[in-house]
Structure 1
Amino acid sequence: MKLLIITAIAEFEKEIIQQLKKAEVVTFSYKNVIGYRDNTEDAIESNWFSSEMNKSESILFYAFVRKENVDKLFESINEFNTKQETLSKIHVAVLAIEKSN
């Protein structure tokens, strides 16, 4: 069993749900969160609004997933991300579960 964590901008919610279904992940949870990006390192020309911290409406998905479904999901999300024309991507991470009850 693996713990799957997915973060993305809120606009990708429907796409993430489709990706989870395609990977046969039938049980998951998600929460609306606020994502922050520190722009202090950006060049002044690219930081239009000259604020140091930008926040965006984001989502956080998490699920306990069978090991064999993890690779399917990663492949599907990587394919989605490569087709994106925006800077924003779906971010996914997997953690091994040593013990669960």
Structure 2
Amino acid sequence: MKLLLITSVSEFEKEVCKLFKKAEILVYSTSDIQGQKFYVSKTIQDNWFSAQRDSHDSKLYFSFTTEDKIDAIFKGVEEFNAEKSKSNPIKAIVLDIEKYIN
């Protein structure tokens, strides 16, 4: 059993849902989150208010699933990022689950 976590900007919600469906991960959960990004300025004029920060509406997706489905969704995420999203890539990680109760 693995725990799959995916984050993306909210604009990619439909695409991420298609990735889950294509990987045959039919049960997953979502949560709205705020992505934060700090920019370090290079000049003193740009650094008047210290660091600048942008906030982005984002989504967190998570699912308990199997290794074969993880491989399928990772392939889809890599393809999507290569083709459509260089500035805001979909991010995915997997955590091993040592114990669980079903």
> TM-score normalised to the size of structure 1?
0.88
2:13 is matched with 13
Q: Which structure has the greater CA radius of gyration?
A: 2
1:81 is matched with 81
2:27 is matched with 27
With over 3 angstroms needed to count, the CA separation of the structure-2 counterparts of 1:100 and 1:85, relative to structure 1, is: closer
Q: Distance in 1 between matches of 2:76 and 2:41?
A: 31
Residue identity (%): 32
The aligned amino acid for 1:57 is D
In the alignment, structure 1 segments of 5+ residues that lack a partner are none
Q: Distance in 1 between matches of 2:69 and 2:85?
A: 27
1:91 is matched with 91
CA drift of 1:17 comes to 0.3
